[in-house]
Structure 1
Amino acid sequence: MLDLLRQSLTEAFGGAQVEARSTIITSGRLNGLLEIHGYGEPISVAVEVIRTAYPRDVHRVIWHLDELELCWGKAKSGHLIKLIAAEHLSPGAKSTLKDKGYAFFERSGSLFLRTKKMLINIERPSKLPSRVRSIDLFTEAREGAVHGLLKNAFQWMAGADLAEQSQTSTYTCSVVLQELERREWCETQGAGRTKRRRLVQPGKLLDDWAEHWQQRGMSRSRWYVFIENPHLLIDRLACLVKESDVDFPWAFTGAAAANIYAPLLTSVDSAEIIVPPGYAVILGMALKMKPAPKGSNVTIVERGGTSLQFRELHTLYSASFASPYIQYLDLLDGRGRNKELAVHLREQLEQKWGRPKTSSR
């Protein structure tokens, strides 16, 4: 990496002499120290090499370079440029370095360096190393943390607060937050016990979740309940649940629920209910419904994980409704006018985020 950097600096400075020097500066040690001659006062380039850099990575290296600069000021003269060299630098890392006045070099050949007399800005396409892979954010445990972050988009949160809200471990939340920070979908402030993060790309996270959601398997059973006015199906089911005194978690989802949360369709004549795995028959019997492979008006979905997290109690219906994020994901099945309703519900969610709209499905 240092050889590549030296070649790049030689070319950028029009064939100037670039020499390697001792990397020891008083109390600190660098990965490399280069000197550029031929432009009046010698220019020294203090180099730290890292493999792949995201904003959180460059902050740690910046601290080290700043510490070494203090030693340099006491021991050396001339202009010092602090540079980070990496196999791959994310856009956020590059932006951070530019804003703070640091130089950077990427194996692809990208070079950014500013002196009092010149600005060098060579941009070449970078490629993320194949060995750097994203973790799976959507295991059953991690989905809870993802759901909690979406519910609190653009709000600063400590990992412990997220763990408490999402009913997941602090370790699981930490894994999710670190991955989102690596993707630059999450911002960080503070350190240690005062460390806080906030989700700043909820649209990208929701889109990623949607792709995984549609690939999962689940158990669905179809039922029929008699009702004279199909428009009152949700009301009827809510009353039946109340009368049966169901003692396990459940929630309305799908088109009927979403149309109440974000009205769009004139009517929906069927309903979907989420229950924990193994409880479909119990609910069907409790509500005195009949199994109906054909002609059903109620679908019971057995699903674990985060599906029943952050349920909302609707005052007009005295019933539990799934989180609007779960409703949105369930609408992506493409049935009927579900896609149209999903777009409308997404718009409502984006308004709650309080930021410009992201791409909708």
Structure 2
Amino acid sequence: MFVDTAAGVSFELVWAVSLCGLLFTFGILFMVSVNNPVSINIGLELEAEVLQILRDIPGLDVQTGHAPADGADAVIRGAGTPTPIAIEVKTRVNAANVHQIIYQARGMSMPMVVIARDMTGGARAALAAEGIGAIDGLGNIRLELPGLLVRIESAARRPRPKSRTTLLGKTSLVAQAMLLDTGRTWHVNELAEHAGVSPALAHRVLQRLVDLEIVASQGAGPSKQRRLVEPSALLDLWVEEHRDRSRRHLAFMLASGSEDLAATVCHSLELIGVSYALTAAAAIAHIAPILTNVPVVEVWLAGSADPRAVCAEIGADEVTSGPNVVFRQERDDVPLAFRTRRDGVWFANVCRLYFDASRDPQRGQEQAAHLRREVIGF
């Protein structure tokens, strides 16, 4: 939690407010300036229902019945300076729609505050990076306005979605297939065959993406076609919803450098007939070179492979710490899907590379951003 204003006093406030049938409940520690009281003039009735909670804050003057200037939904006045604000109310904000909100906010001449019953961590981070205020149903709040600065990270957790079309495991293959061929239109059956899933699963995923306006549909019946129209939103949604369920096996192998190590490991796997895909930083260094050290080579192995036997056959030592090779496996071999071969080496597909790199706690975010900018392109 981080809350700060100059010359302020703090107090706790708990409230519940119903908005469009959605119940928002928050418990917050606020700090409001005593020397510079803050006032808010509320215009629209719907937003007034939400901003009513601010009336209970000492030092905050809430005014109603006055139309805010310049088409604003509300005006906040702190330290004598009036600031019009726009308020956007959503049921859910996630990677699928946060870019639309950001695009809308960029076209405004005033700050925006987004209120949603459910808001993912990735969406909150994206809004914060753009300076957009956010309030969600778990009690996460970030407001940076004149005279009012509130930053709260709630301890409550967002329940995992129950939808069977969440982009996890084999379900994610439908999304990856479309991301890897963004200009193509798809019939359900051909997409299912290409992704290696059932037509029923492909249909459920497509229906969800159509509902999110990430995919557009044309026609009806068996001839109905779908086309990806928001690839950036789909990539972000997949990265947000996917979970790493891999088993990791640490190893050490002598080599003169990271490039030589990656080539040696991959060549050795070829010789013993084990299916694999080079991923993360070592793969990005080959596909989209960036000046960075690659201390560890990460490789996806077929789920049927025995990592101990693999280490023994290629001359690598199993270790418990300080590895320079990490073998990863998933039982369903989803990480090997759509792998590509370049210069005699199998690489994970670029979307998988992006996901794996983004999960690297060291410089993964930088490498993932570089790959997205230089290779993926959206």
For 1:224, which of 221, 240, 252 is the aligned residue? 252
Q: Distance in 1 between matches of 2:321 and 2:244?
A: 24
Where does residue 175 of structure 1 map in the other structure?
204
Where does residue 186 of structure 1 map in the other structure?
215
For normalisation by structure 1, the TM-score amounts to 0.56
Matched, 1:233 2:261: yes
Where does residue 151 of structure 2 map in the other structure?
none
Q: Distance in 1 between matches of 2:216 and 2:200?
A: 18
Where does residue 348 of structure 1 map in the other structure?
374
Q: Distance in 2 between matches of 1:173 and 1:202?
A: 17
Cα offset, 1:210, TM superposition: 1.1
Q: Distance in 2 between matches of 1:133 and 1:228?
A: 48
Query: CA 1:199 to 1:304, structure 2 compared with 1: closer, same or farther past 3 Å?
Result: farther
Where does residue 256 of structure 1 map in the other structure?
282
Q: Which runs of 5 or more residues in structure 1 are unaligned? A: 1-90, 92-131, 352-356
Query: CA 1:347 to 1:140, structure 2 compared with 1: closer, same or farther past 3 Å?
Result: same
Matches within 5 A, 1:32-47: none
Where does residue 300 of structure 1 map in the other structure?
327
For 1:313, which of 341, 354, 369 is the aligned residue? 341
Name whichever structure is richer in strand by fraction.
2
Query: CA 1:267 to 1:136, structure 2 compared with 1: closer, same or farther past 3 Å?
Result: same
Query: CA 1:141 to 1:239, structure 2 compared with 1: closer, same or farther past 3 Å?
Result: closer
Matches within 5 A, 1:1-361: 135-213=164-242, 215-244=243-272, 246=273, 248-277=274-303, 279=305, 280-305=307-332, 306-315=334-343, 318-351=344-377, 357=378
3-state DSSP of counterpart to 1:140: coil
Q: Is the 8 A contact 1:135 1:179 kept in 2?
A: no
Q: Distance in 1 between matches of 2:195 and 2:207?
A: 17
Cα offset, 1:135, TM superposition: 4.9
CA radius of gyration, larger in: 1
Where does residue 65 of structure 1 map in the other structure?
none
Q: Which amino acid aligns with 1:192?
A: G
Name whichever structure is richer in helix by fraction.
1
Q: Which runs of 5 or more residues in structure 2 are unaligned? A: 1-99, 101-160
Q: Is the 8 A contact 1:159 1:170 kept in 2?
A: yes
Q: Is the 8 A contact 1:231 1:267 kept in 2?
A: no
Q: Is the 8 A contact 1:150 1:202 kept in 2?
A: yes
Q: Distance in 2 between matches of 1:338 and 1:227?
A: 23
Number of aligned residue pairs: 217
3-state DSSP of counterpart to 1:320: strand
Q: Is the 8 A contact 1:264 1:341 kept in 2?
A: yes
Query: CA 1:287 to 1:328, structure 2 compared with 1: closer, same or farther past 3 Å?
Result: same
Cα offset, 1:183, TM superposition: 1.0
1:167-196 CA distance string (max 9 Å, x none) = 111111111111111111101112223211
Q: Distance in 2 between matches of 1:321 and 1:334?
A: 17
Q: Distance in 1 between matches of 2:162 and 2:269?
A: 46
Cα offset, 1:237, TM superposition: 1.4
